[in-house]
Structure 1
Amino acid sequence: MSFIVRLPCASLPFLAAGLALGLAGAAAQDLRGHGGPVRAIAVAPDGRAAMTGSFDQSAILWRLDTGAALAVLRVHDGAVNAVAALGEGVFATGGEDSRIAIWRGTAATPERVLTGHGGPVAALAVSPDGRLLASAAWDGTVRLWPLDGGPGRVLEGHRGNVNGVAVTRDGTVVSAGYDATLRIWSRDGTPVVATLPAPLNAVLVAPDGEILAAGADGQLHILSAGGQPLAEAPVGQAPAVALALSPDGATVAASGLHGDVALVDRKARRVRTVLAGGSLPVWSLAFSPDGRELLAGGADRVVRRWNAASGARLGTTASTLGEDPLAAFAGDRGAELFRACAACHTLTPDGGNRAGPSLYGLFGRRIAGLPGYAYSEGLKKLDIVWTHETVARLFEIGPSLYTPGTKMPEQKVTDPKDREALVTFLEKATAPR
């Protein structure tokens, strides 16, 4: 089992016309629609639109004044880990499938797909002049992609996953890796290497050249343009996993696995405020181009919106978005167990797909048999019909053994009573009506 979201689409001309009324008068909306953790956010240079990438294998293009989704985009065979804004209406996405896609407007297919990495793409960065896209991947390399279509370059040297990449105003590339090194690459591909006390998860470069790196030690590491350590600012007890820099370079946002977002005064080297977003990881951050707003996406599938100066929440959510789809099954043990699956699957005829297919009408359906869902090739070869017994067996021995080739996260229900309760609930909740 896995996930997709069906949301309304619109054209960029429609977006521009609506925004001509001005953003100030519209109430900001939290961005809701992904079926899995939000791994990446990028805001268009004019602040009108944003794109998010998720574990649910999709990217969503959003209209920021209303919080409406303009398009749900799918090409990656795996999580969308990175997003970069290349211009008005043009974005790049990097995926677990090692590919990079270039999207223009609301087109359902990418304008271009870049291949070459041998592992998941973890980060993307565009040069200030908009001519170069840099990618970092878990194959241990950084790749440079001229956006005019010229020949690219490969930068090698990290020992292990490369988690972050940035491009300075003069075109220098900076990368950060799980090997605890930060590398500043010269034009000939020779790096200056700075070794830090912990693995690094993200990197940024400020307008004045200072380098900012998020450490697994919960520190924001601040280095000179030449790679000399200057200071550290503690940003939380959990590993720091995401960074964003305000357009004026004064404020660094840093988030980690415990749900808080620290806003750091870069010159003072200290946290000036903490945005309490809950207890789940915040995987992605982005400032609006005017620096007034911070967007934060996390494991709960929501992109929250904050006033970057005051720390006040901006986002509001319509009451329908907050409804509990399992409220009608209160007290049902099977329904409570299903909550672990609800991020990826819907149960109703109008629920649609998420990262996994809708489960409506599941029993009696052949595996990989729901029209319109992109199943993995391994599942299409299996001879299974979903019944009370086969669903129970799936949760007894786990998806990797029972349905080899699946992208479903490994989940087992080892208690026989719990397993029976879950399957009985699914029979009731997914029955055609």
Structure 2
Amino acid sequence: MFPSRLAALATALLFLAGPAAAEFRGHGGPVRALAILEDGAAAVSGSFDQSAILWDLRSGEARSVLRFHEGAVNAVLALPGGRFATAGEDGRIALWQPGGGQPLQVEEAHKGPIVGLALSPDGGRIASASWDGTARLTPLSGGPARVFEGHQGQVNAVAFMPDGRLVTAGYDATLRIWPAGEGAPAIRTLPTPLNALAVGPGGEIVAGGADGVLRLLSTEDQALTELDLQTGPILAISVAPGGGRAAVALLRGAVALVDLGTASTAARLVGPGLPVWSLAFSQDGAEILTGGSDRLVRRWNARTGEHIGPVVMMRPPELNAVAGSERGAEVFKACAACHTLTPDGGNRAGPTLHGVFGRRVASLPGYNFSPALKQLDIVWNAETISKLFEIGPARYTPGTKMPEQTVTAEDREALVRYLEKATR
């Protein structure tokens, strides 16, 4: 019997053994990354709280909490032999063995945050995507890495074609398919910055970005099919192991289950309405794990879209700082992944915003700001915060780690009013 079938059988037996935990609690920040390990009995998650957690899928309990990275853990990856990898804001890739408190191996891979990992079809190489503008191919057995350059800005996602070619997606709105050997990539320019990428077992490419449109490229002629999900930016994509269906995570809190053959929405996973950052299918494709801004790992029936167990509506305390459902609080949901508002909220991937009005940029004690930010002459107030989201962080605060984003004039005004009250 093939290893993949053994893993699927183990997963099925695991879930038939009795009621399984429906929600996993342990992270102190949004759950940025998810992967189910080779045996199907455990999963690993990464969070903006700078930790990774190894979970027992049967009990829902944390087998171990791993604190190694200096910054948010943005990507995790299952590896052969039960191992796994984590990567994050510090530009490092760490390889782990379950039960170990320290990494087996550490790769100083990138000069900027790593936001995506993928495993080659032969199981021997890890691909990484970074905001330093490059992708990298690292052999697990050691030896020199291959660096892929060409994207104009952040590389946000990587995936492998079945034949071993690497696909990258970036903020420059391009998909690039790199040859196995030397040579220039095939480049496909799309209408929007790209955040997420997956490749199906038949070689179909699935990409999503800032405009909320899922784009499907066929294997042979790269014909483009579009599906407008109409719910804001796409944050993550996962294709079921057998193909045919993809799960698409959305900033506004839903997950769309998409039939790839018909390019239609088959079902929607409806949670507490907070951004969903990460997805992982079980090996048999029957279940989906999701991680979001409510700091929980949730499990869902992948065929019906139903939550396993009751949906608990958890909201981070910073979203309750101002009562009511005003527009500014809705806009801030996208910021809550990285920033807190309350005096005891502390720092996450970004500094706390408590007391931000009247504070000079990069001056908050206890947070590691980049040298470039410390050179800027900006004091945060209604005008400067609005300007940040009018022209985007990359132009207004060069050197920042913030994701690139702009906000409409109406939403900027609402956000500033909200922050003025919530950060006092």
Class of the TM-score when normalised by the shorter of the 2 chains: 0.7 to 0.9
Counterpart for residue 289 of structure 1 = 283
Rounded Cα–Cα distance in structure 1 between residues aligned with 2:248 and 2:12: 33
**Unmatched segments (≥5 aa) in structure 2:** 1-9, 324-335, 370-379, 383-418
Residues 291-349 of structure 1: per-residue CA shift (max 9 Å, x gap): 110111111111111000111111458x9x979999xxxx9xxxxxxxx89x979999x
Residues 32-51 of structure 1: per-residue CA shift (max 9 Å, x gap): 11111111001112211111
The letter for the 1-side match of 2:72 is A
Counterpart for residue 141 of structure 1 = 134
Match for residue 104 of structure 2 among 111, 122, 132? 111
3-state secondary structure, aligned to 1:22: helix
Change (3 A) 1:22 1:347: farther
Q: How much has 1:93 moved relative to structure 2?
A: 1.0
Residues 64-104 of structure 1: per-residue CA shift (max 9 Å, x gap): 11111011111111111111101343111110111111111
3-state secondary structure, aligned to 1:264: strand
Match for residue 55 of structure 1 among 48, 63, 70? 48
Counterpart for residue 251 of structure 1 = 245
The letter for the 1-side match of 2:240 is S
2:124 paired with 1:131: yes
Q: How much has 1:180 moved relative to structure 2?
A: 0.6
Rounded Cα–Cα distance in structure 1 between residues aligned with 2:84 and 2:36: 9
Rounded Cα–Cα distance in structure 2 between residues aligned with 1:138 and 1:152: 17
3-state secondary structure, aligned to 2:266: strand
Change (3 A) 1:355 1:183: farther
The letter for the 2-side match of 1:403 is L
The letter for the 1-side match of 2:14 is G
Contact 1:283 1:299 in 2 (8 A): yes
Q: How much has 1:224 moved relative to structure 2?
A: 2.6
Match for residue 214 of structure 2 among 216, 220, 226? 220
Rounded Cα–Cα distance in structure 2 between residues aligned with 1:422 and 1:155: 42
Counterpart for residue 155 of structure 1 = 148
Contact 1:394 1:402 in 2 (8 A): no
Match for residue 403 of structure 1 among 354, 364, 374? 364
TM-score by length of 1: 0.72
TM-score by length of 2: 0.74
Rounded Cα–Cα distance in structure 2 between residues aligned with 1:91 and 1:276: 29
Counterpart for residue 23 of structure 1 = 15
Equivalences for 1:23-422 in 2 at 5 Å?
A: 23-24=15-16, 25-189=18-182, 190-225=184-219, 228-315=222-309, 397-398=358-359, 403-404=364-365, 406=367
Rounded Cα–Cα distance in structure 1 between residues aligned with 2:160 and 2:58: 29
Rounded Cα–Cα distance in structure 2 between residues aligned with 1:402 and 1:201: 30
Change (3 A) 1:396 1:207: closer
Two-structure CA RMSD over aligned residues (Å): 4.0
Contact 2:198 2:238 in 1 (8 A): yes
Contact 1:235 1:254 in 2 (8 A): no
3-state secondary structure, aligned to 1:142: strand
Change (3 A) 1:191 1:68: same
Bigger CA radius of gyration: 1
Contact 1:221 1:229 in 2 (8 A): no
Residues 224-253 of structure 1: per-residue CA shift (max 9 Å, x gap): 336723311122330111101111101111
Counterpart for residue 386 of structure 2 = none
Change (3 A) 1:217 1:325: closer
Q: How much has 1:22 moved relative to structure 2?
A: 3.5
Residues 173-228 of structure 1: per-residue CA shift (max 9 Å, x gap): 00111101000000234200011111111111111111111122111111133672
The letter for the 2-side match of 1:103 is W
The letter for the 1-side match of 2:293 is A
Contact 2:119 2:160 in 1 (8 A): yes
Change (3 A) 1:323 1:419: closer
Q: How much has 1:356 moved relative to structure 2?
A: 5.5
Change (3 A) 1:397 1:106: farther
Residues 331-387 of structure 1: per-residue CA shift (max 9 Å, x gap): 9xxxxxxxx89x979999xxxxx9769xxxxxxxxxxxxxxxxxxxxx9xxxxxxxx
Rounded Cα–Cα distance in structure 2 between residues aligned with 1:395 and 1:168: 45
Rounded Cα–Cα distance in structure 1 between residues aligned with 2:263 and 2:11: 37
3-state secondary structure, aligned to 2:79: strand
The letter for the 2-side match of 1:106 is G
3-state secondary structure, aligned to 1:23: helix
The letter for the 2-side match of 1:309 is R
Rounded Cα–Cα distance in structure 2 between residues aligned with 1:193 and 1:19: 38
Count of matched residue pairs: 357
**Unmatched segments (≥5 aa) in structure 1:** 1-17, 332-339, 349-353, 358-378, 380-392, 424-433
